[in-house]
Amino acid sequence: MGMQQETTCHSLIAGKSTPGVAGRVRSVDPSTDREEGPEFSFLSEGQLCAAVQAADEAFAEYRALDPARRAAFLEDAAQKVDAQGEEIISTAMRETGLPRQRLQGELARTVNQLRLFAGVAREGDHFGVRIDPALPERGPLPRPDLRQRKVPLGPAAVFGASNFPLAFSVAGGDTASALAAGCPVVFKAHNAHPATSQLVGLALSAAVAEADLPGGVFSLVYGRGNEIGQQLVKDARIKAVGFTGSRGGGTALMATAAARPQPIPVFAEMSSINPVVVLASAIASRTMRAVLAEGFIGSVNGSGGQLCTSPGLMFVPAGSDGDAFIETVADQVSMAEGATMLTPSISTARVRGESRVSSLPGVHEVGHGVEGASANAPAPSVYSAAATTFLQTPALAEEVFGAHSLLIRYADLEELEALVDHLEGQLTATLHLDPEDSGDLEMARSILPALELKVGRVLANGWPTGVDVGEAIVHGGPFPATADGRSTSVGTLAIDRFMRPVAYQNLPEGLQPEVVRDANPWGVPRRVDGEYDLGG
């Protein structure tokens, strides 16, 4: 089941290859700056409407699936994507410049996410069933019979991310969680990796067909980014949006969604510089400084700095230990080599971003690595500034996407608290400290309440690049890290983004949804009269 062998490939609308009539695109190998692979046709406005219509028509049947069938569909989708792994990886390497090992890990994560959400769908806990049986004799007023469950929002528009061609793309977390919730998906392929998207889209479409589901459960569409994105979000039949990308792109979709006659939620992951707070004891010895600096540069330069959790900001104590640490960072970054960035335009933006930062008053160069041997592989870089400079220069808090970071020197707890208070919303914050040192613990205890109001994940003595997919993870944060800091795009809680609660009062049993009936035919966990019932 490889990609169709023809000179032009097309959108998959409800499982059918649909030639677009509004232009074409070819992917560019960023390591050579050369166009590679087949062309992909862009849909017109009317053709995109057909994909949304198919999703809308599929919604009633798809949302009514019992947990076992929905889980089996997602498991089959995972198997089909996995079976195409080698072709997917080799294609993604050509389209993104990312190394094989990184893409192998990302493919495994993608497949495991689908299987994880198959488990969520089968268990049924996401329905959030609560039952308060009637108490007709209760005084002074009787209690009615109340039953609550969560229902899917409806067809979802999901946008592919440039920096994750698999895990945040066609079969990535947004798609997996929306499908697990019961929402058909219209997926907008990222034009930087159209062939990779096509391969995964074919696998999902095959799973839809094999499960004997309506074709509109999944569509893969190609088009000009801004135009097709705005049209999708404006369409009244789309009920939710999943997006990973720039702040400008995300806020534009948020504005469109809010301006609709019936506004809809946009779950956008956008901008984060992921501050790292270094406390005194973490750099008290030469060995500790060396280990910390090596880990820092490894995290900054991993995947060319193109991870949404790359540490673009580090707070370092003033004083001799801090000076020695920065010298060690300079040594480490000097040995780092630039990696091919995802697209020529992303590479250009990275270089311009560094130029903008380096030109600001009070900013000093710490060190540079070397450019990579391929095209679009700028040298990693680190700069520094005083806390007062950072607090007085808003531009220093803006993300530079790529292998670039800024070290900020702080004198004491009061200055560190001011720095934390100055931060925008972030995906992560990291503390490096000695857990046995009372001074480190007291300082961390002082800033932790403020940090947890700024970020979605706080970690200690590690690096934020590396997001474990599971039950307890949060990959989100206050704006502008995400559009809605109450949600996560990774982990099982992500399914809640695409559902809403409905209560049924005194509804006759014959009208009650199966999941809230006393017999619990689906065997899902529920809260009944305040007590947790594990069901089947």
Q: Could you tell me how far CA 55 lies from the centroid of its own chain?
A: 23
Helix (H) or strand (E) holding 232: helix 225-234
Q: Count the neighbouring beta carbons within 10 Å of the beta carbon of residue 1.
A: 12
Among 95, 106, 269, 399, the active-site one is 269
> Is position 415 annotated as part of the catalytic site?
no
* Residues shown for the chain: 536
DSSP-derived pairing of the beta strands 404-410 and 364-368: unpaired
268, 364 contact by CB (below 8 A) = no
125, 525 contact by CB (below 8 A) = yes
Task: Supply the DSSP string of 178-212, one letter for each residue.
Answer: HHHHT--EEEE--TTSHHHHHHHHHHHHHHHHHTT
Q: Evaluate the CA torsion angle 506, 510, 516, 519 in order and state its sign.
A: positive
Residue 514 has which token pair? 């199966």
Helix (H, G, I), strand (E, B) or coil at 34: strand
Query: How far is 132 from 44, CA to CA, in rounded Å?
Result: 50
Among 308, 354, 399, 415, the active-site one is 308
Residue 326 backbone dihedrals phi, psi, to 5 degrees: -65, -35
- Give the CB-side neighbour count of residue 234, counting CA atoms within 13 A: 10
196, 110 contact by CB (below 8 A) = no
Contacts of 498 (CB under 8 A, 6+ apart): 152, 153, 156, 177, 178, 181, 182, 183, 240
> Is position 269 annotated as part of the catalytic site?
yes
Helix (H, G, I), strand (E, B) or coil at 10: coil
Query: How far is 246 from 464, CA to CA, in rounded Å?
Result: 19
Residues identified as active-site: 269, 308
